[in-house]
Amino acid sequence: MEAAISLLKTRADASLAELIEFAGIPSISAQSAHAPDMARAADWLRARLERAGLQNVSLWPTAGHPAVYGEWLGAPGAPTALVYGHYDVQPPEPLERWSTPPFTPTLVGERLYGRGVSDDKGPLLLTVQAVDALLSATGTLPLNLKFLFEGEEEVGSAHLPGLVAARAGELRADFVISADGGMWSADFPSLTVSGRGLVALEFSVHGPARDLHSGRHGGALHNPLHAAAALVASLHDGRGRVAIPGFYDGVQELSPDERAGLAGLPFSDAAYLEQTGAPGVYGEAGYSTLERQWHRPTVEVNGLWGGYSGEGSKTVLPAEAHVKLTCRLVPGQHPDTIAARLAEHLQNQTPPGVRLELRPGDHAAGPYSLPAGHPLRRAAGQVLRELYGTPPVEVGMGGSIPILETFGGVLGLDTVLFSFAVGDENIHAPDEFFRIGRLYEGQEAWTRLWWALGNGQTDG
């Protein structure tokens, strides 16, 4: 193992160059114009897995973008880990707010800027570089590995559950280690032990059959933008609490111990506002910022548009308005139930003079948690403590990784999130970046984690 870690150090420049090449491919799964780039990224990754010395490397087709698979099964009797990551990235828009071109990864000091470098190409690639080094340096691995990298995480992993079910035999394993996830802070190690679920919904409000002159018709017909705004406003009460009937049914309140634990974490609203640039914190009354981020459900509007947004004025009463929204879910909430309650609420709140059109979104995932005392949680914690010299803080995650539910529900496997991205790296936003030091730390950590899991060293 130490020979592999030494080899990784000699390969540091090559590792970075590889990430720059990989992140230069605009593999945007949401935009059909980028389908050729998706294919190119999948093929790049397939070739890289082969070069690492993995076997049965192949593209696994789906009705959408393919997954990339590779394995090494030369450790009979040792456990088998399924490694997960995704090679697709978020759309880069708004382009004008990037300081460097999103698909020309650019190193500025210790940070590599580019779309997808943090979510998830850097954290994914370092696992391949780690297995390559282990096989090059030692000719063997301490455990069996199966790599599954999907191309639809950023559009909700719609085809992954079906793929995993169809390939359940080939994917048989003892547990899952995910390269997707992310640490909470750049200042100390953390381990994510819970994540919120997700359900998405879109709606449109239709008024007149075409855009009308707002002078001639204003006041006589309902303006779809007014109706859409009223619908969005109806989702929350004046104290930041979701106002959809039944939304909080089944949600557990945090215990006094849990609240005290969260209050003791190194977090301050002032530092958070400094980091995000927001004028103030805001949310459900009666909860702290971390409680709201990790353990309270939300409804968020991700997009709202209608009418004229160009230069100058256009006195138009628009024919329609559009809204995209997502709910974050916590234990006790099911995506289907919440989607149904949200839809019913919107229907009940739609005013006269307009027509509501609801469309299911393309995202859904249940909430997740890795129980205290779980062997994966202990092993990962031990590796991080040795690497950073301090035990990791155990944190929740506001975001959702739908695969946690897939691997749990379809394969019956627990997943540990072992990503070396950090939560401040502007993922899903302009100027996404990845700390290059984390590329090397991640390579070493994954090598040590495999070693620990392969040798049964899972006591913390």
* 251 lies in the binding site for a second copy (CB under 8 A): no
CA atoms of 354 and 108, how far apart (whole Å): 51
Cβ atoms of 351 and 227 closer than 8 Å: yes
Which range in 231-239, 333-341, 402-410, 442-450 contacts a second copy by CB under 8 A?
A: 231-239
Which residues, 313 to 332, sit near a second copy by CB under 8 A?
313-318, 321-322, 324, 326, 328
User: Which one of residues 230, 243, 265, 358 is an interface residue with a second copy (CB under 8 A)?
Assistant: 230
* 63 lies in the binding site for a second copy (CB under 8 A): no
Which residues, 142 to 161, sit near a second copy by CB under 8 A?
155-156
Strands 197-206 and 415-417: unpaired
* 258 lies in the binding site for a second copy (CB under 8 A): no
* 100 lies in the binding site for a second copy (CB under 8 A): no
**Cβ nearer to a second copy, comparing 66 with 92:** 92
**Closest distance between a second copy and the C-beta of residue 188, in Å?**
18
Which range in 4-12, 24-32, 50-58, 124-132 contacts a second copy by CB under 8 A?
A: 24-32
User: Which one of residues 138, 337, 369, 426 is an interface residue with a second copy (CB under 8 A)?
Assistant: 426
Cis peptide before 120 (omega within 30 of 0): yes
CA atoms of 400 and 405, how far apart (whole Å): 10
* 206 lies in the binding site for a second copy (CB under 8 A): yes
- Torsion (CA) 173, 148, 74, 17 in degrees, nearest 10: -140
* 108 lies in the binding site for a second copy (CB under 8 A): no
Return left, alpha or beta for 260; rule: phi > 0 is left, psi -120 to 50 is alpha, else beta: alpha
**Cβ nearer to a second copy, comparing 34 with 48:** 34
* 259 lies in the binding site for a second copy (CB under 8 A): no
Cβ atoms of 335 and 298 closer than 8 Å: no
CA atoms of 458 and 455, how far apart (whole Å): 8
Which range in 38-46, 121-129, 346-354, 368-376 contacts a second copy by CB under 8 A?
A: 346-354
3-state secondary structure of 106: strand
**Cβ nearer to a second copy, comparing 174 with 258:** 258
User: Which one of residues 7, 54, 89, 354 is an interface residue with a second copy (CB under 8 A)?
Assistant: 354
User: Which one of residues 101, 408, 430, 460 is an interface residue with a second copy (CB under 8 A)?
Assistant: 430
* 111 lies in the binding site for a second copy (CB under 8 A): no
* 93 lies in the binding site for a second copy (CB under 8 A): yes
DSSP state, residue 95: G
- Please give the distance of CA 37 from its chain centroid, rounded to a whole number: 21
Structural Rg of the chain based on CA atoms: 23
Contact track, a second copy, 158-187, x by CB under 8 A: ------------------------------
Cβ atoms of 83 and 177 closer than 8 Å: yes
CA atoms of 396 and 399, how far apart (whole Å): 9
Contact track, a second copy, 276-315, x by CB under 8 A: xxxxxxxxx----xx-xx--xxx-xxxxxxxxxxxxxxxx
**Closest distance between a second copy and the C-beta of residue 301, in Å?**
4
Strands 144-150 and 80-86: parallel
The single residue listed with the structure tokens 């707002």 is 214
Cβ atoms of 81 and 175 closer than 8 Å: yes
